[in-house]
């Protein structure tokens, strides 16, 4: 597993999770946690760091040899300013969104992997098991320590996850592509289960997101 956290400047995020324009943010996740509004992200006009985007990609050893059962997970997440890590972190995971084969390289197919539409929730984030193309959400009330919550621990009846906008955000130098990324926006509602105690459940409603999964 590789882990990358990128820093950039930001102003303080507003507490209102609904009355804002997504165009004002480079990236964000928002909604209500057990009825309480939240908004974690980075404004376009930011001058100080608030939340940094991170990316954790998981590739199992079997991927190159068993394309029917192997896979690649993309896990973009938001992590608080390193000067204040006692705040929450939050992210999403695209489970087995790339299947390994000699014919389909990630850099060639990445921008097509996040189409607009509804997505089911994965029962596991293991990239070597289960059907492809499902999603998960995770949340830590304190970024540096537990308890840790995710969608894999229980029932998701009534939950939803949808992508409503998906735009390539690749980077180029002299017309040569040097970076691969996608800006995705959408809506979600989920139940998050304590990974150590499945009876401890957090509910997110009215969720919105603008995230940037990428290859590094």
- Write the pLDDT tens digit of every residue in 31-80: 999 999 999 999 999 888 889 988 776 666 666 666 677 788 899 999 99
The pLDDT assigned to 4 comes to: 35
Give the predicted TM-score (pTM) of the model: 0.86
The beta strands (E) that lie in 10-50 are given as 25-33, 36-43
What's phi and psi for 33, nearest 5 deg?
Answer: -100, 110
- Which of 158, 200, 185, 154 has the alpha carbon at shortest distance from 92? 185
Q: Helix, strand, or coil here: 146?
A: coil
d(CA 94, CA 125): 8
Is 186:179 a contact under the CB 8 Å cutoff? Answer: no
d(CA 182, CA 115): 10
Peptide bond into 147 cis (omega under 30): yes
The pLDDT assigned to 61 comes to: 60
d(CA 32, CA 204): 5
pLDDT in tens, 99-133: 777 655 778 888 999 999 999 999 988 877 767 78
pLDDT in tens, 67-111: 677 788 899 999 998 888 899 999 999 998 887 776 557 788 889
Average confidence (pLDDT) over 198-203? 96
């Amino acid at each position: 597993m590789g882990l990358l956290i990128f820093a950039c400047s930001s102003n303080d995020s507003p507490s209102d999770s609904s009355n804002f324009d997504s165009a004002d943010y480079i990236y964000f996740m928002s909604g209500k946690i057990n009825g309480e509004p939240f908004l974690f992200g980075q404004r376009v006009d930011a001058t100080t760091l608030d939340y940094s985007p991170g990316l954790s990609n998981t590739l199992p050893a079997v991927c190159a040899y068993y394309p029917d059962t192997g896979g690649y997970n993309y896990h973009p997440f938001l992590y608080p300013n390193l000067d204040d890590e006692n705040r929450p972190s939050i992210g999403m995971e695209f489970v087995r969104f790339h299947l390994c084969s000699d014919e389909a390289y990630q850099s060639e197919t990445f921008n097509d992997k996040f189409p607009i539409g509804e997505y089911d929730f994965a029962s596991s984030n293991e990239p070597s098991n289960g059907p492809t193309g499902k999603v998960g959400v995770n949340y830590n009330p304190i970024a540096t320590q537990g308890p840790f919550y995710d969608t894999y621990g229980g029932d998701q009846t009534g939950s939803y996850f949808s992508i409503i906008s998906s735009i390539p955000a690749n980077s180029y130098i002299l017309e040569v592509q040097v970076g691969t990324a996608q800006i995705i926006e959408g809506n979600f509602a989920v139940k998050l289960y304590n990974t150590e105690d499945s009876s401890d459940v957090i509910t997110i409603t009215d969720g919105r997101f603008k995230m940037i999964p990428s290859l590094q």
